[in-house]
Amino acid sequence: MKKFKGACVIGQSGGPTSVINASAQGCIEAALKSDAVTKVYGAAYGITGVLDDRLYDMTMEDPLQISRMKHTPSAIFGSCRYKLADPLTNAIDYQRILDVFKKYDVRYFFYNGGNDSMDTCSKISAFLAQNSYDCRVIGIPKTIDNDLACTDHCPGYGSAAKYVAFTCMEVGLDAKVYGNGSVTVLEIMGRNAGWLTAASALAKSMGSGPDLIYLPEVPFDLADFISDVSRIHDKQRDVMVAVSEGIKDKNGTYISSYFSDTSKDRDAFGHARMGGLAGSLANFANAKIKAKVRGIELSLLQRCAAHIASKTDIDEAYLAGKTAFETAESGISDKMVAFKREEGAEYKCVPVLVDLVDVANQEKKVPREWINVSGNGLLEPFLDYVRPLIQGESELEIVNGVPQFAQLKKIMTREI
Amino acid sequence: MKKFKGACVIGQSGGPTSVINASAQGCIEAALKSDAVTKVYGAAYGITGVLDDRLYDMTMEDPLQISRMKHTPSAIFGSCRYKLADPLTNAIDYQRILDVFKKYDVRYFFYNGGNDSMDTCSKISAFLAQNSYDCRVIGIPKTIDNDLACTDHCPGYGSAAKYVAFTCMEVGLDAKVYGNGSVTVLEIMGRNAGWLTAASALAKSMGSGPDLIYLPEVPFDLADFISDVSRIHDKQRDVMVAVSEGIKDKNGTYISSYFSDTSKDRDAFGHARMGGLAGSLANFANAKIKAKVRGIELSLLQRCAAHIASKTDIDEAYLAGKTAFETAESGISDKMVAFKREEGAEYKCVPVLVDLVDVANQEKKVPREWINVSGNGLLEPFLDYVRPLIQGESELEIVNGVPQFAQLKKIMTREI
A57, A116, A119, A145: which is the annotated catalytic residue?
A145
CB-neighbour burial class of residue A182 (10 A; exposed 0-12, middle 13-18, buried 19+): buried
Of the CA atoms within 13 Å of residue A135, those in its CB half-sphere come to: 32
Q: Which residues of B touch A178 (CB under 8 A)?
A: 45, 78-81
Helix, strand, or coil (residue A108)? strand
Q: Which pLDDT value is given to residue B373?
A: 98
- pLDDT, tens digit, 9 for 90 and up, residues A66-84: 999 999 999 999 999 998 9
Query: What tens digit of pLDDT does each residue of B354-408 get?
Result: 999 999 978 999 999 999 999 999 999 999 999 999 999 999 999 989 999 999 9
Looking at the predicted structure, is the pLDDT value of residue B265 above 90?
no
CB-nearest partner of B166 from A165, A307, A390: A307
Q: Which residues of A touch B74 (CB under 8 A)?
A: 170, 173-174, 176-177
pLDDT at residue number A413: 74
Per-residue pLDDT, A2: 57
- Three-state SS for B208? coil
CA distance B65 to chain A (A): 14
pLDDT(A106) > 50 = yes
Contact list, B410 vs chain A (CB under 8 Å) = none
Report the distance separating Cα A404 and Cα B364, nearest Å: 33
CA distance B340 to chain A (A): 21
Asked if residue B262 has pLDDT above 60, the reply is no
pLDDT tens, position by position, A142-179: 999 999 999 999 999 999 999 999 999 999 999 999 98
Q: What is the pLDDT of residue A248?
A: 96
Is the distance from CB of B219 to CB of B250 less than 8 angstroms? yes
| Cβ atoms of B218 and B161 closer than 8 Å | no
- Count of C-beta atoms within a 10 Å radius of residue A101: 22
Tens of pLDDT, residues B15-58: 999 999 999 999 999 999 999 999 999 999 999 999 999 999 99
Instruction: Give B189→chain A minimum CA distance, Å.
Output: 14
Nearest CA in chain A to B255: A268
Q: Give residue B318's pLDDT.
A: 98
Q: Is B271's CB within 8 Å of A294's CB?
A: no
Interface test with B, best of A299, A310, A387, A391 (most B CBs within 10 A): A299
A28-42, A228-242, B160-174, B274-288: range with lowest mean pLDDT = B274-288
From the list B16, B207, B271, the residue facing A177 with the nearest CB is: B16
CB nearest to B259's CB, from A268, A282, A283: A268
- Of B177, B299, B401, Cβ closest to residue A391: B401
Q: Which of A184, A283, A401 sits opposite B273 (nearest CB)?
A: A283
Beta strands in B53-161 (DSSP E): 55-57, 106-113, 136-141
Nearest to B50 by CA among B88, B3, B84, B89: B84
Average pLDDT rounded to a whole number, residues B319-335? 97
Is A105 one of the catalytic residues?
A: no
**E strand intervals along A207-357:** 212-214, 238-244, 292-297, 335-341, 349-355
In A, which residues are within 8 Å of B287 by CB distance? 269, 271
What is the spatial distance between Cα B282 and Cα A299, in angstroms, rounded to a whole number? 14
Angle at B305 between CA B400 and CA A237, to 5 degrees: 90
pLDDT at B413: 74
Distance in angstroms (rounded) separating the CA atoms of residues A220 and B8 = 51
- Please state the pTM of the whole predicted model: 0.96
Q: Which chain A residues are within 8 Å of B259, Cβ to Cβ? A: 267-269
Q: Could you give the domains of chain A?
A: 6-155+306-362+392-403 (3.40.50.450), 161-303 (3.40.50.460)
B-chain residues within 8 Å CB-CB of A412? Answer: none
- Tell me what the mean pLDDT of segment B118-136 comes to: 96
Asked whether A40 and A31 are in contact (CB, 8 A), the reply is yes
Q: Model confidence at A346, in pLDDT bands (50, 70, 90)?
A: very high
Catalytic residue chosen out of the listed positions B119, B145, B147, B238: B145
